[in-house]
Amino acid sequence: MKKISEEKGRKKVYEGKAKILYLYGGDESKLVTYFKDDATAFNGQKKGTIEQKGEFNNAISSSLFKLLKSKGIKSHFIEKLSEREMLVHHLKMFPVEFVVRNYTAGSLAKKMGVEEGVKLLSPVVELYYKSDELGDPMINETYLKAFDLGEPKDVEEAKKIAVNINEILKDFFDKNGLLLVDYKLEFGILNGNVLLADEITPDTMRLWDKVTLEKVDKDRFRRDLGGVEEAYKRVYDITSKI
């Protein structure tokens, strides 16, 4: 089936694991992000599809970018163009993933030898070098200048924004019955300003039911827990009220 962006004659500039980027019109200042149903895990070793994920993630991201904007957080988001397409500003991305954690889960639980779900005394912030070939290795601030990954002061600002976002998202999900366990953000630069980019979805966040601690995110796919589509739908329903 032809993708809506292709029907509209958009020029593809990049295809990633979850999204495709297209040019919007002739000018390169804006991009159309097309959300796919494709799902990968464990650095691409596990592949599958999650029905309607593209539609859910586009809507969830759009709503969360709007919520963040209302709280003073600037992002690449311009508007939701269609069910699976989002119009964004074309940024110069930092090849860095910013991970913020409130509870132990996944690699942090393993690394520190504690069970999952332990509340951290204060948030943990981690930087990873975005590289599929290398499996996104963890880095720290001294790598930035050493490997020309971005201006340290800009990355420091992105890190600060990533932590400010924590309070907003934690509070929002808490009011809607979910614990924000951890999340991954990406940032880029536009006209010298650091802006939040990419997506904020159950692919990039861990969310647990506050009462049952049931997982409501991509871990259901990673760990073959079933009820994957239902989990995305639940987050979609919550964020569609924004």
Ligand X SMILES: Nc1ncnc2c1ncn2[C@@H]1O[C@H](COP(=O)(O)OP(=O)(O)O)[C@@H](O)[C@H]1O
Q: Site residues (CB under 6 A) for ligand X?
A: 14, 16-19, 21, 31, 76, 88-91, 93, 186, 188, 197-198
* Residue whose CB is nearest to ligand X in the complex, by number: 16
Least distance to ligand X from the beta carbon of 225, Å? 23
By beta-carbon proximity to ligand X, the closer residue of 16 and 137 is 16
By beta-carbon proximity to ligand X, the closer residue of 16 and 25 is 16
By beta-carbon proximity to ligand X, the closer residue of 16 and 117 is 16
Least distance to ligand X from the beta carbon of 195, Å? 8
Cα distance between residue 21 and residue 192, in whole Å: 22
Question: Please, are residues 195 and 188 in contact by the beta-carbon 8 Å criterion?
Answer: yes
By beta-carbon proximity to ligand X, the closer residue of 91 and 181 is 91
C-alpha 205, offset from chain centre: 7
By beta-carbon proximity to ligand X, the closer residue of 179 and 185 is 185
Least distance to ligand X from the beta carbon of 190, Å? 8
Cα distance between residue 112 and residue 47, in whole Å: 28
Cα distance between residue 95 and residue 186, in whole Å: 8
Least distance to ligand X from the beta carbon of 232, Å? 16
3-state helix, strand, coil in the chain (%, to 5): 30, 35, 35
- Cα R_g (the chain), whole angstroms: 17
Least distance to ligand X from the beta carbon of 8, Å? 19
Cα distance between residue 77 and residue 89, in whole Å: 7
